Structure 1
Amino acid sequence: MGLFTKNPFGHNLFLKKWLIRIMALITHQRYKGFNTLEIEGSEVIRNLPDTKVLFVSNHQTYFADVVAMFHVFNASLKGRDDNIRNIGYIWKPKLNMYYVAAAETMKKNLLAKILAYAGSISIERTWRSEGKEVNRQVKMSDITNIGTALDDGWVVTFPQGTTTPWKPLRKGTAHIIKRYKPIVVPVVIDGFRRSFDKKGIRVKKKGILQSMVIKEPLDIDYENESVESIIEKLEYAIEQHPSFLKVISEKDLLALEEENKLRKWRNG
């Protein structure tokens, strides 16, 4: 890799590498010190091809979730088995790794812009803008950019489009799957909502057990399976299907909703 080599989005890879290294050093203790991150599925990561992989996950904070994935994926590729010990794994990070994020979130401040340069595919949300409900057309350039990222490497997406649990998945994810036919890998995370503030920047509470489960790729019939069928399959895979609510007590659900309201008020 040359000093001036760029990725398909015009980002200098030398600069991106150093941004990832620095951010990894700064954030490592958030998952391996202040809190403990329990990981399952490192072997799944190592068995994936270098490109055309779409990770689909539930969402709990703006940034902490995807930063944890950068740690876990790179550690797994460097031979770590379900752990992120010895941060040397980040010296040669996977540079063709991207994540889908709302454009308005990635433009808010310098930190967000740095994180965007490290791998964001910024899209314009069709259902919400600046805290208000909207209804607008999908920008084809956003879809094309996700396809470009898949052709170049791995993409992480949070199809609920919100950190609030149990919300319906956006059908756009299924359309992307049918159009670009990537390998689809479900990821289920937990504990990040309790560990961090809504943005995933401030450590809210220490000593929390976080978890990340990387599941085997889904079996999808790209040509014949309907969008609705794919969405339902994704909901079950990332454990956000409405049926999962049946195994959660009403008391726990109400407590979770109250916590979400407090987090929204504190970070509004």
Structure 2
Amino acid sequence: MVLFKRNPFGHILLIKKWIIRIFGIISHGRYRRFNDLQIEGSEIIRDLPKTNVLFVSNHQTYFADVAAMFHVFNASLKGRVDSIKNIGYIWNPKLNIYYIAASETMKSGLLPKIFAYTGSISIQRTWRSAGKDVNRQVKMSDISNIGKALDDGWVITFPQGTTTPFKPIRRGTAHIIKTYKPIVIPIVIDGFRRSFDKKGLAIKKRGVLQSMVIKPPLEIDYENDSIKDIITQIEYAIEQHPSFLKVTPIEEYQKYEEELNKKRKFWG
């Protein structure tokens, strides 16, 4: 029955739509009232094909980053320009947006399990588990699931695999790019770490200027660029290459961020 149509992962689209609607309404104020999300480059979203698009971004919280992207992507597709005003865009959301997340994160409670239904591609991390460093083989089923999601729509990934800034890009992201040859869209976010707790569920601070910059597609030679070449290109594109820290020590950079945020405060 059309009413119970499912996506390639077996999720009933009607249920997925309602979960996105409900959480979209609940979360909207986090980017409009309590804090101010400034968006740049959302016109790029409207020109993308319906499938085989990979978004690569730096990472600051477990859930708030993805939720903001769901808002921005859907608002842009409904004609908003660098804005998520008038939440009517969430009533008919794009249902083939997926995001890559650690399976242990998405199984850590009832709320994450509900979030997972909105589009999580849960993977087993090869380098860390339960807060400890590990070294294990990539599960081929994880790779094939990412390919399945790209074939069906858009995929969001945080290639550093952690919310800690300036960590190395994981090689798996470059392998995915060379294997499936998606259009790669870089996104740079800021302010989420200051405004939310690590999970991105609780508001830690109000009046923070959050930003999301959507950049043009990367120019990748899928056949000739090496894994290292692609990793370097991603590092620069999402502004996580070590050279971004060479001018200013990280302690000074963090202090500068706080001072800049105070100057930009809009909340009285």
Q: What is the 5 A alignment of 1:188-227?
A: 188-227=188-227
SS of the residue corresponding to residue 65 of structure 1 reads: helix
Distance 1:10 1:111 in 2: 19
Q: Structure 1: any 5+ residue segments left out of the alignment? A: 257-268
Q: Structure 2: how far apart are the matches of 1:109 and 1:124? A: 17
Q: Deviation at 1:248?
A: 2.8
Q: Does structure 1 residue 170 correspond to structure 2 residue 170?
A: yes
Matches within 5 A, 1:152-171: 152-171=152-171
Runs of 4+ in 1 over 2 A off after TM superposition: 247-256
Q: Deviations over 1:196-238 (max 9, x none)?
A: 0000000000000000000000000001110000000000000
Deviation at residue 42 of structure 1 after TM alignment: 1.1
CA distance in 1, matches of 2:135, 2:36: 40
Which residues of structure 2 form unaligned runs of 5+?
A: 257-268
- The equivalences for 1:106-145 within 5 A come to 106-145=106-145
Matches within 5 A, 1:1-268: 2-253=2-253
Q: Give CA deviations for 1:54-93 in whole Å, capped at 9, x if unaligned.
A: 0000000000000000000000000000000000000110
Aligned length: 256
Letter in 2 for 1:2: V
Change (3 A) 1:5 1:250: closer
- In the superposition, the TM-score normalised over structure 1's length comes to 0.94
State the Cα distance separating 1:254 from its structure 2 match: 6.4
Query: Following the alignment from structure 2 to structure 1, what is the Cα–Cα distance between the partners of residues 188 and 50?
Result: 21
- Residues 205 and 182 (structure 1 numbering): CA distance in 2 closer, same or farther, change over 3 Å? same
Distance, in Å, in 1 between the alignment partners of 2:201 and 2:238 is 24
Partner SS for 2:173: helix
The one-letter code of the counterpart of 2:180 is Y
Q: TM-score of the superposition, structure 2-length normalised?
A: 0.94
The sequence identity of aligned pairs, in percent, is 73
**Residue 217 of structure 2 aligns to which amino acid in structure 1?**
P
Q: Distance in 1 between matches of 2:71 and 2:27?
A: 9
Quote the Cα distance in structure 2 between the aligned partners of 1:251 and 1:108: 32
